[in-house]
Amino acid sequence: MNGTPDSNIFRPNDFCTKITGSIVFKRSGQYQINVNGIDGIRFFWNDSLIIDKTSENYSHTTFITDHVLKGRANKFKIEYFEDEGWGEIRMGYALLTKI
């Protein structure tokens, strides 16, 4: 996600969004998944709640490690709210060890 909602409909602050999807890894192995955001974040990985942070104007970074299998869909859901000021949400991953 890049940017803010349409300012003709919403103010650039005080909005929420839900991002859902899945990641299919090309290699089996141990992965580190990280989520970073400012304001409120709820992050689910394969239907498990991993992050439940709703502090306004604070940056949250959380890392989890998970063993994933090549070709298997790993579901994620991010619920994010932006209160005021700078808003940001990021998700990334890195392969730690191959299997």
Q: What is the Cα–Cα distance from 14 to 61, expressed in whole angstroms?
A: 21
Picking from 38, 46, 36, 42, the residue whose alpha carbon sits closest to that of residue 78 is 42
Which has the higher per-residue pLDDT, 1 or 56? 56
With beta carbons less than 8 A apart as the criterion, state whether 12 and 4 touch: yes
Q: Which residue has the tokens 């090549």?
A: 70
What is the arithmetic mean of pLDDT over 71-99? 87
Residue ranges per structural domain of the chain = 15-98
pLDDT score for 98:
80
CATH for 15-98 is 2.60.120.260
**Residue 96: pLDDT above 50?**
yes
> What is the overall mean pLDDT for the chain?
83
Write the pLDDT tens digit of every residue in 60-84.
778 889 999 999 999 999 998 877 7
Strands (E) across the chain are located at 15-24, 29-38, 40-45, 48-53, 59-68, 73-82, 89-98
Name 91's bridge partners.
35
pTM of the shown model: 0.78
Structure confidence at residue 58 (pLDDT): 66
